[in-house]
Structure 1
Amino acid sequence: MGVSVSNTQDLGMPAIYLHTLAELLHTIGVDQRDLIQRVGLDPARLKSTDLRVSEAQAAEFVTRAIVESGEPGLGILLARELELPLHGALGTAVMSSRTLEEALELMTRYLTLRVPHLKVQKHMAGSSVWYAVKCETQLGSILGFVLDAVLFGCVSMGAQLLGTTLPGLRIMRRGAEPSHFHRFRRMIGVPVEFGATEDALVVPASHLSHPTRFSNQHLAETSREQCEQALQELEEVAGVARKVRRVIEASHPFPPKLARAASTLFVSERTLKRRLQEEGASFQSLVDEVRLERAQDLLENTAMNLTQIADALGYADAANFTRAFKRWTGNSPSQHRIANSNLTKQA
């Protein structure tokens, strides 16, 4: 599956993409919930637009999805499901841009926010502009899936953005044409040429000034600022504690065991403990941080009783949960709910 995540900067994969893939698997007859849980992920948590899943878990899920679906073109099918709002602040910025060129410039700068380790390089070739997608690390067997989803997704989302598929668009792919690809040519809707020197979206330069459907200057400015801030945060050096936290946040069952986290990150338990200690953290402290955040969310935004919340957080009973919550915050769960419940405020 390529270079282990323990040896590269784990930028995390937006969980919403795995949720979208899971929904797609369901439509083609794969038990997606069973598959998600076998990878150690929580199906309910994948719906979050803010959560990022460890790259190792995302890669394992994609690999199993391709094998168990028996569909080598799964990335092409996923591309059709990638609606612009799924992409967070970047999707909003793209939708709000004035022209196709402005939208593509946003993708060029911020793609790594949505797909770790991918970069876009722009260059002219005659009367066309090439937006070549480059991978900065070894993704192994899922690289084809990722490039399918990104490049063919650009065609699908471009049609959403412009209201039409512009003539003259092309997709260039390196390597020979896969044996399964003939099944998807008509679906993609633009010419795809294999044996190219780059994996790229090729756009006639004359189309770059084409106006978008949802232009909104104020929204474009604010969402771009959000993208810039997110990019700065993502490019900060990601320590082991951040990697472990991502595993904990998305794990099923919750909380995960140390052995599970170590296995996901391709290190031994002893090595993981040592690296966390070097950063002034511990596995249990990270579990407790995530537990507190989840507890506060469940108390403020659901009507679950304390026994149900305790069970969701991995406690034996409500009493143990109550003691832990008071230790963390100084207040009981009931006191916190009374003071902060969004359900009460909405009523």
Structure 2
Amino acid sequence: MNRDSLDPRLTAASIATNILSGLCLMAEERGIDCERWFAGLRLTRAQVDDASVRVSYRQASRVVQRALRDLPEPDIGLRLGRQQTTGNFGLLGLAMMTARTFGDAVEIGLQYAPVSGSLMDLELDTSHPDALCLVASPRSADDTILPFLCEELFASTLMLCRGLIGPSFRPLRLELAYPAPAYAHEYEALFECEVRFGMPRNRELIDPGWMSRRLPAYNPVSAQQALALCRAQMPRGPASGEIVAAVRQLLRSRLHEAPGLGDIAAKLHLTPRTLRRQLVAAGSGFRAIHDEVRSERARELLRDSELSIAQVGASVGFRDAREFRRAFKRWTGAAPSAMRAPPRAGVTPATGS
């Protein structure tokens, strides 16, 4: 058994798919078939464009390795990072943009980094006497993808910072823990600062004077709303393992069909017995996952849609409204009607069975 299968930091499905989606778009622009990048990973091309999907570091790193073999440009990390704007960071970008100061935005970015799909662990080191240091640490020692990970991270961070406080932003220095590539001159052209290779750590040194800079889009109300949405997207409790995440994703996409264990096993190219054994080894079971996904989706529909209770039940695989009500009470301890959002003015809530 390899190390990847033993380390929960590498197999927990907690990473958003932003980077993988970006790589797929680059491949498709070049006429490259990226479907094969997902072979054997319990993941599909379509799933990486789904904002609700989370993958493990093991899955993401395998896709990156395959992408780097297929994409012709050696500086693909710089190219992908350069394409990013504040808008590409979604809710996290909005939360940072509406913060009071650049320093506040940096704190938000570090706290909610998982929302952005970062494949490296980030921390702000304040021990340097003349600079703040954004330190990026890989989760696994893999020299084949380290340059890509650093290029994408530091280039996209640069574009984000310039989007927040203007094109004059530049680091004091960039230090990278790998040898200089043949295209090292492109680093200096992009970052407009000294770049050192073969260093002990991957870090970007920033002038502390930037931290007090007021952001032009500061809005306390929008900032609170965006932060609340970021909090809602953060992992809650221990992240699911790959097999549990794969089953959850397949169930969610087919809830109205009420798929059974055999149906999901077939989609994963497993026998029902093997799938059941793998779920038990992951500390879960098919029925528990199915009920959890149905409960989550039912609550979403009850809060955010005008479907009748019977229609909500049908959407999560129940043909009989009474059966759905009983199941919902078992899952949540409350009746479906109790989960309804307050009706909007002039709208009569749908409660029919």
What is the TM-score with the length of structure 1 in the denominator? 0.69
Deviations 1:112-139 (A, max 9, x none): 4432561313224343221212245555
Q: Give, in angstroms, the shift of residue 192 of structure 1.
A: 2.2
- Compare the two structures and name the one with the higher helix fraction: 1
Deviations 1:297-329 (A, max 9, x none): 99x99xxxxxxxxxxxxxxxxxxx999542798
Q: What secondary structure does 1:213 align onto?
A: coil
When structure 1 is superposed on structure 2, of 198-207 and 44-53 the one drifting more is 44-53
Could you say which residue in structure 2 is the equivalent of 1:178? 181
Q: What secondary structure does 2:137 align onto?
A: strand
Q: Give, in angstroms, the shift of residue 7 of structure 1.
A: 2.8
Runs of 5+ unmatched residues, structure 2? 255-262, 306-313, 325-347, 349-353
The answer to whether the 8 A contact 2:170-2:192 is kept is: no
CA distance in 2 between partners of 1:282 and 1:326 (Å):
23
Q: What secondary structure does 2:205 align onto?
A: strand
CA distance in 2 between partners of 1:145 and 1:258 (Å):
35
Could you say which residue in structure 2 is the equivalent of 1:246? 245
Q: Give, in angstroms, the shift of residue 67 of structure 1.
A: 0.9
Could you say which residue in structure 1 is the equivalent of 2:278? 272
Could you say which residue in structure 2 is the equivalent of 1:102? 104
Pair 1:152-2:155 in alignment: yes
Runs of 5+ unmatched residues, structure 1? 302-320, 332-344
User: Aligned-pair RMSD on alpha carbons?
Assistant: 4.2
Q: Relative contact order: is structure 1 or structure 2 higher (C-alpha 8 Å, sep ≥ 6)? A: 1
When structure 1 is superposed on structure 2, of 244-253 and 15-24 the one drifting more is 244-253
Pair 1:76-2:78 in alignment: yes
Q: Which of 127, 130, 137 in structure 1 is aligned with 2:130? A: 127
Q: Which amino acid aligns with 1:42?
A: T
**Aligned pairs for 1:1-347 within 5 A:** 3-9=3-9, 10-33=12-35, 35-36=37-38, 40-114=42-116, 115=118, 118-138=121-141, 141-183=144-186, 185-228=188-231, 230-231=233-234, 233-234=235-236, 236-240=237-241, 243-249=242-248, 257=265, 260=268, 271-276=277-282, 279=283, 281-283=284-286, 286=289, 325-326=318-319, 330=323
Could you say which residue in structure 2 is the equivalent of 1:313? none
Q: Give, in angstroms, the shift of residue 177 of structure 1.
A: 0.9
CA distance in 1 between partners of 2:18 and 2:288 (Å):
26
CA distance in 2 between partners of 1:104 and 1:261 (Å):
43
Deviations 1:194-215 (A, max 9, x none): 1333211211122222232322
Q: Give, in angstroms, the shift of residue 66 of structure 1.
A: 0.6
The answer to whether the 8 A contact 2:102-2:213 is kept is: yes
Residues paired across the two proteins, number: 305
Pair 323,94 (structure 1): closer, same or farther in 2 beyond 3 Å? closer
The answer to whether the 8 A contact 2:298-2:316 is kept is: no
Pair 18,161 (structure 1): closer, same or farther in 2 beyond 3 Å? same
CA distance in 2 between partners of 1:147 and 1:328 (Å):
52
CA distance in 2 between partners of 1:59 and 1:261 (Å):
22
When structure 1 is superposed on structure 2, of 157-166 and 139-148 the one drifting more is 139-148
Q: Give, in angstroms, the shift of residue 258 of structure 1.
A: 6.8
Pair 151,38 (structure 1): closer, same or farther in 2 beyond 3 Å? same
CA distance in 2 between partners of 1:127 and 1:15 (Å):
36
Pair 257,129 (structure 1): closer, same or farther in 2 beyond 3 Å? same
Q: Give, in angstroms, the shift of residue 64 of structure 1.
A: 0.8
% same residue? 19
Q: Give, in angstroms, the shift of residue 14 of structure 1.
A: 0.9
Pair 5,110 (structure 1): closer, same or farther in 2 beyond 3 Å? farther
CA distance in 2 between partners of 1:132 and 1:251 (Å):
36
CA distance in 2 between partners of 1:3 and 1:328 (Å):
48
Q: What secondary structure does 2:245 align onto?
A: helix
Q: Which amino acid aligns with 1:274?
A: V
CA distance in 1 between partners of 2:35 and 2:216 (Å):
36
The answer to whether the 8 A contact 1:11-1:116 is kept is: no
Pair 290,34 (structure 1): closer, same or farther in 2 beyond 3 Å? farther
CA distance in 1 between partners of 2:21 and 2:39 (Å):
12
Q: Give, in angstroms, the shift of residue 44 of structure 1.
A: 3.4
CA distance in 2 between partners of 1:67 and 1:262 (Å):
28
Pair 58,207 (structure 1): closer, same or farther in 2 beyond 3 Å? same
The answer to whether the 8 A contact 1:63-1:142 is kept is: yes
Pair 198,117 (structure 1): closer, same or farther in 2 beyond 3 Å? closer
Pair 251,4 (structure 1): closer, same or farther in 2 beyond 3 Å? farther
